[in-house]
Amino acid sequence: MRIFRHLLLIFLFGSLIGCDVKSPDQTRIPLLEVEGKFLYLDQVQGVIPPNITGPDSVQIADSYIRKWVTDVLLYENAKRNVTDKDEIERLLDDYRKSLIIHQYQQNLLQQRLPEQPSEEEMLVFYRNFSEQFILRENLLKGILLVLPVGAPRLNDVRRWVQSGDNKSLEKIEKYSLQHGLSYDYFVDRWVQSNEILKKIPVQQEQLSSSIGNGSFFEVSDSLKHYMLNVDSVKKSGELEPFETAKEKISNIILNQLKSDFMLNFEDELYRDAIRNGTVTFFNK
């Protein structure tokens, strides 16, 4: 209500000093008018976050109103003072033409091309251009359990994490609900090693030098105890797994398809125009 009263005062003040003002939208509450342009209450209210009240909301409203007024004044002054309006119209026409062509091309591509390549197409590309998919960072599959220092039954927990079988995983899940700080299960997907390093106090060099399939890391700091079991690893310099490369492959293939399609479409459009007499050449 406070921000509403503040904006209403602006409106009333503007009404008292204003004269010869164009009519505002009767379905909305106007706050002020500049050069025949109206700013309405709902516009200002729309920029104020719902969790902001009091002086902060008034400050946001004041800043928005000042910016709105300044933009209108600048634009109206520019229209009166800019002399090269033909150039502006030309630029606007070029921009409008580019937007229409772009939208038409996007519609064509959406209608004529598949949403994504087939699995077989991506696999062929992956095999033929494998040099494009060399890892620059280790990928891991595994389990990471973070516990508070002093958590009970560490020997049992260590054995469960190292085992990683279904029964052990059930025990880890139950244990982590009661005692764990966090539990990440990523045996079924590849995760970049830097994502794991954000959660465990181990240096990249230390992890890279000793990591391998079936590796187990255990480390503590003053507050937490960390257990990492690496089920599988793909090291930097090795070929990236197809499952993680698929998105990149899909984008590469689709971009090439789009480029080829548009080149062929433009060439066909031109040749049809020549053949049909749409284009008229004048002899000099």
> 145 - beta bridge partners?
183, 227
> 225 - beta bridge partners?
147, 220
Q: Verify that 212 and 140 share a domain, yes or no.
A: yes
- Report which residue type is found at 126: Y
Structure tokens that stand for 54 in this block: 């009091």
Please report whether residue 89 resides in a domain.
Answer: no
Q: Select from 81, 116, 143 the last residue of a domain.
A: 81
Please report whether residue 34 resides in a domain.
Answer: yes
Please give the pLDDT value at position 155: 94
Q: Verify that 144 and 219 share a domain, yes or no.
A: yes
Please report whether residue 263 resides in a domain.
Answer: no
Please give the pLDDT value at position 19: 44
Please report whether residue 194 resides in a domain.
Answer: yes
Please give the pLDDT value at position 169: 93
Please give the pLDDT value at position 86: 86
Q: Verify that 151 and 77 share a domain, yes or no.
A: no
Question: Which CA distances in Å does 26 have to 6, 22, 23, 217?
Answer: 21, 12, 8, 70
Q: Which domain holds residue 56?
A: 2-81
CA–CA gap between residue 202 and residue 146 (Å, rounded)? 13
Q: Verify that 77 and 139 share a domain, yes or no.
A: no
- CATH label of the domain that carries residue 223: 3.10.50
Per-residue pLDDT tens, the chain, 284 aa: give them: 455 455 555 554 444 444 445 788 899 999 999 989 999 999 999 999 988 888 888 999 999 999 999 999 999 998 888 888 888 889 999 999 999 999 999 999 999 999 899 999 999 999 999 999 999 999 999 999 999 999 999 999 999 999 989 999 999 999 999 999 999 999 999 999 889 888 988 777 777 777 777 889 898 988 999 999 999 999 999 999 999 999 999 999 999 999 999 999 999 999 999 999 898 888 76
Q: Verify that 143 and 227 share a domain, yes or no.
A: yes
Please report whether residue 259 resides in a domain.
Answer: no
Please give the pLDDT value at position 224: 93
Nearest C-alpha neighbor of 259 from the set 109, 34, 129: 109
User: Widest CA span of the chain, in angstroms?
Assistant: 95
Please report whether residue 60 resides in a domain.
Answer: yes
Q: Verify that 76 and 141 share a domain, yes or no.
A: no
Query: Domain tally for the chain?
Result: 2
CB distance 149 to 222 below 8 Å: yes
The separation between the first and the last C-alpha atoms of the chain, rounded to the nearest angstrom, is 75
Q: Select from 192, 207, 234 the last residue of a domain.
A: 234
Please report whether residue 44 resides in a domain.
Answer: yes
CA–CA gap between residue 103 and residue 159 (Å, rounded)? 59
DSSP state of 142: E
Please give the pLDDT value at position 79: 85
Please give the pLDDT value at position 38: 94
Please report whether residue 190 resides in a domain.
Answer: yes
